[in-house]
Amino acid sequence: MLKQFFSLLKRYILPYRKYLTWALILNFLSQWLNVFSFMAIVPILNILFKIDTKSYEYIPMDIHNLDKDVLINNAYYFVSNFVATNGAFYTLAMMGGILIFMTMLKTAGYFASAAVMVPLRTGIVRDIRIQVYNKVLSLPLSFFSEERKGDIIARMSADVTVVENSLTSSIDMLIRNPIALLVCFVTLFSVSWQMTLFVIFILPLTGWIMGVVSRKLKRQSSTAQAQWGDIMSQLDETLGGLRVIKAFIAESKMSARFSKTNNDFRDAMNEMIIRQSSAHPMSEFLGTCVIVTVLLFGGALILNTNYAPMDAATFIFYLIILYSIINPLKEFSRAFYNIPQGLASMERIDMILKAENHIVEPEQPLPLDAFTDKLEFKNVSFSYVEGRPVLNHINLTVPKGKTIALVGQSGSGKSTLANELEKRLVSLGKHTMLLDGDNVRMGLNKNLGFKEADRIENIRRIAEVAKLMNDAGLIVITSFISPYVRDRRNAREIIGDDSFIEVYVSTPVEECEKRDVKGLYKKARTGEIPNFTGISSPYEAPEHPEIIVDTTGKILEDSVNYVMTQLEDQLN
């Protein structure tokens, strides 16, 4: 299990190495401060209970004469001198102050080590989410036909959340706790190696018990996460096929199916949570058993007058350090319960991350520099999986669309002609899109007015939209006044000269004014509408239009027939 966990960390931890380094340093510092703070308890106990009546002499210290016994002797020498000079109570107060100060440093180290791990934990989860999302974008459509969409959503949401709550929260535990155990065992060995060997002998039994439970938890977690995916899939199927369900009066059947899946998920979660809840009491019980066993063993040695490896105060210090091991062991047990749950979710996520993409991109694809005329597919076959063709010997020609730009003054007949042209082209099997001044001004360009700058921007936006539609193979019919030559020239450059067909509806302004059904010319003559094209603002006729049509005195059908005849060669 731990091998899988560290293998997973290797995939994501490299960008966050600096946080890991600081966490190691701060954890080492805080754990040694923890030991030193407890060491102050030994002289406090000796003072309170007057256990140690030995007289100490100062031993000179240098690099060649520096060991544990010398340090302890000199520490007791200074404490006994302080007691003789200031009394036992002031010495007790001083040692209590040292304990408080060391504890403050220790807790500050704990906080710093936890805070420095936050960017690492959140960064790993962010990277997993981004990696899963990008993988989903790159997978072929066949993957999503084989995997239910609800299950994929569950893996991207619920499983990633489980990884965040279990694996990443365990990273801190698996950094801090080994350091705590290492420091504690070094201290225990320095106090009594015999008793520490006895502790090491009985600890593996507790580890084996917790390992058995954690392996069962992983199996239960995998089952629960799979059932959560089934719930999401059923919900997605229900929302997507609600009309079919209601049409066949299948509400009760679907409800019973969902209830069964939900109850199965509840049962699996009950077993998993109950087993997970046993982590803390089990570790505490096993830890207490270890402490009592050591207490009996150490007590027997101390009560033995022939051989006592330490005095009573030091034995209490030993037990305190030994009890300090219980918290890291509890955290370890919690991690051992959380990690299997996270690994089970990561396995489900890896089913997406490690999914094979059977579509292999060519090493040297032929470039498509521009779409100028048409795209033609000849005898094309394609399959996501060998032996299961999706396309089989397909022949298809997609011509590039054209833009038929009808321009002319208001009332010249542009919109009427454009509507009829669209109907005629559709009847011939052409795919068209009509962009008229009125509907565009109510949507895409509703924030534009009729000043010169707004009119320029109006035509530019229309040209960009028409170009996109041409690339999709549509014939775009536009109907706009577009009074300035430069705007029409700019539109031609955007769309492309080979796709731009300019139709100038050249109906004279006098005829247009007679057809003034909206009363615009009348308002322009009275000054109610300023900058009106043809009255108070000039209209620049096209320089070289592909088609010119004057609708004066003609019926609509004649004008449409004429334009269709002129377009025949350009659209084929």
Kindly report which listed range (38-42, 207-211, 367-371) carries the lowest average pLDDT score. 207-211
Q: Does the pLDDT of residue 280 top 70, yes or no?
A: no
Q: Who wins on pLDDT, 13 or 371?
A: 13
Single out the residue of 325, 331, 40, 23 nearest to residue 186, CA to CA: 325
Rounded Cα–Cα distance for residues 420 and 427 (Å): 11
Report, as residue numbers or ranges, the catalytic residues: 482
**Structure pTM?**
0.52
Q: What is the mean pLDDT of residues 398-414?
A: 86
Q: Does the pLDDT of residue 371 top 60, yes or no?
A: yes
Q: Who wins on pLDDT, 338 or 219?
A: 338
pLDDT tens-digit series, residues 60-112: 776 666 666 677 677 777 777 777 787 777 777 877 787 788 788 888 888 88
Q: Which residue has the tokens 């060519």?
A: 362
Helices (H), 515-555: 520-525
Rounded Cα–Cα distance for residues 377 and 390 (Å): 15
Single out the residue of 272, 310, 492 nearest to residue 402, CA to CA: 492
- Mean of pLDDT over the chain: 78
Q: How confident is the model at residue 540 (pLDDT cuts 50, 70, 90)?
A: confident
pLDDT at res. 135: 84
Q: Does the pLDDT of residue 155 top 80, yes or no?
A: no
pLDDT tens-digit series, residues 458-495: 889 999 999 988 888 889 999 888 888 888 899 999 98
Q: Does the pLDDT of residue 410 top 80, yes or no?
A: yes
Q: Does the pLDDT of residue 422 top 70, yes or no?
A: yes
Q: Who wins on pLDDT, 563 or 73?
A: 563
pLDDT tens-digit series, residues 218-238: 555 566 666 776 777 777 777
What are the phi and psi torsion angles at 367 (to 5°)? -75, 145
Helices (H), 149-278: 149-154, 160-163, 169-191, 193-240, 242-247, 251-277
- Let me know: does 171 contact 117? Beta carbons within 8 Å: yes
pLDDT at res. 272: 73
- Mean pLDDT: which of 265-279, 283-297, 436-450, 493-507 is highest? 493-507
pLDDT at res. 297: 75
pLDDT at res. 216: 58
Rounded Cα–Cα distance for residues 517 and 514 (Å): 8
pLDDT at res. 476: 92
Q: What is the mean pLDDT of residues 122-141?
A: 83
Rounded Cα–Cα distance for residues 78 and 56 (Å): 9
